[in-house]
Amino acid sequence: MQLIQKMGMQHLLITIHYTSYLVQSFPSLKLKFVSSKEIEVTTHSLKPTDSHEYDEISIQILKVSSLYISSPLTYLCNWMLSSGIFPSRLKFSEIKPLFKKGDKSSISYYRPVSILTSFSKIIEKIICTRIIEHVNYNQILAEEQFGFKNKYSTDSATYKLLNDILTSLNSKLRVEDFFAIFKKLLIVSTMIFCC
């Protein structure tokens, strides 16, 4: 990342290397165990769908039976968290094409979607919650990271970029930025240059 500031007749080139954002070492990932209550809450938080994978158990069935399955699922989830092993049977998925837009007869307008088992969705959500807690608690992501963060989006990134550009322009600084859009291996670039 380079920032060029206009200071009288001189230009100051400031180079910030990406490694300056990295912490020297990260704490070990220690995932806390899950409770039966958390399994029940997580099960009820999933979108109610009748779709199912090879096990033919839908989210609806899990929601209705959550009181009865929470204890064995808690045991399984805690075993996975302590051993670091995700059962092979829960890794299976059914891949189906999902239409995006355009010509329905062209395969390039479809994207693959993996339909996971309902059980693996519950466990995945719990593990995701644990990893996000670890990352947030240890402040692993840089402040400039907008993806994969709660309450941040592309709108947040756009707002910050526009705010930084306008602040620099108000301070009579020279602003340069480069945007690259990647679509089907075609690179389109735009340069914004203001004095």
Which pairs from 130-139 meet CB under 8 Å and 24+ separation?
130/31, 130/32, 130/81, 131/29, 131/31, 134/27, 134/29, 134/30, 134/31, 138/26, 138/27, 139/23
pLDDT tens figures, 101-129: 889 888 888 988 888 888 888 999 999 89
**Contacts (Cβ under 8 Å, ≥6 apart) of 33:** 78, 81, 82
Q: If you search the block for the tokens 């203001």, which residue do you land on?
A: 194
Please give the average per-residue pLDDT across 36-58, as a whole number.
Answer: 84
Give the residue ranges of DSSP H helices in 24-182: 36-45, 59-64, 66-83, 118-137, 154-170
Chain mean pLDDT for the chain: 77
pLDDT tens figures, 130-180: 888 888 888 887 777 777 777 888 788 888 888 888 888 888 877 776 565
Cα distance between residue 30 and residue 131, in whole Å: 9
pLDDT at 186: 42
* Between 33 and 19, residue with greater pLDDT: 33
pLDDT tens figures, 11-27: 444 455 656 656 557 77
pLDDT at 195: 43
pLDDT category of residue 188 using cuts at 50, 70 and 90: very low
Q: Is a pLDDT exceeding 50 seen at residue 192?
A: no
Judged on CB neighbours under 10 Å (0-12, 13-18, 19+), 130 is middle
Q: Is a pLDDT exceeding 60 seen at residue 52?
A: yes
